[in-house]
Amino acid sequence: MTDSYQQLQSADAATLRRAIRSGTYTGHTAGLGRGCLQANIVILPESAALDFMRYCQRNPKPCPITGVSDTGNPMMQTMGHDIDIRTDVSAYNVYIDGKLDRSLTSISDIWRDDLVAFALGCSFTFENALQQSGFSIWHIDANKTVPMFRSSIDTVPAGPFSGKMVVSMRTVPEARVDEVVAISRRYPLAHGAPVHVGDPSAIGIADLSRPDWGDAAPLSAGHVPVFWACGVTPQVAIEAARLPLCITHKPGHMLVSDIPEDAENPILSSNSNHKS
Work out whether 46 is an interface residue with its own copies (CB under 8 A). Answer: yes
Q: Which of 98, 160, 188, 252 binds its own copies (CB under 8 A)?
A: 188
Segment lying near its own copies (by CB under 8 A), choices 17-25, 86-94, 95-103, 261-269: 261-269
Work out whether 19 is an interface residue with its own copies (CB under 8 A). Answer: no
Query: Is residue 67 classed as helix, strand or coil in its secondary structure?
Result: strand
Work out whether 170 is an interface residue with its own copies (CB under 8 A). Answer: no
Work out whether 262 is an interface residue with its own copies (CB under 8 A). Answer: no
Residues 276, 272: Cα–Cα separation, whole Å: 9
Q: Which of 121, 147, 192, 214 binds its own copies (CB under 8 A)?
A: 192
Number of residues that bind its own copies (CB under 8 A): 40
**DSSP string covering 102-167, please?**
EEES--GGG--TTEEEEEEE-THHHHHHHHHTT---HHHHTT-PPPEEEEEEEPPPBTTB--EEEE
Side chain identity at 74, as an amino acid letter? P
- Residue 221's contacts (CB-CB under 8 Å, 6 or more residues apart) are none
Are residues 73 and 82 in contact, defined by beta-carbon separation less than 8 angstroms? no
Query: Is residue 3 classed as helix, strand or coil in its secondary structure?
Result: coil
Work out whether 16 is an interface residue with its own copies (CB under 8 A). Answer: no
Segment lying near its own copies (by CB under 8 A), choices 91-99, 142-150, 191-199, 246-254: 191-199
**Interacting residues toward its own copies by CB under 8 A:** 46, 49-50, 53-54, 57-61, 65, 67-68, 70-71, 77-78, 116, 153-154, 156, 158-159, 185, 188, 192-198, 264-265, 267, 269-270, 273-274, 276
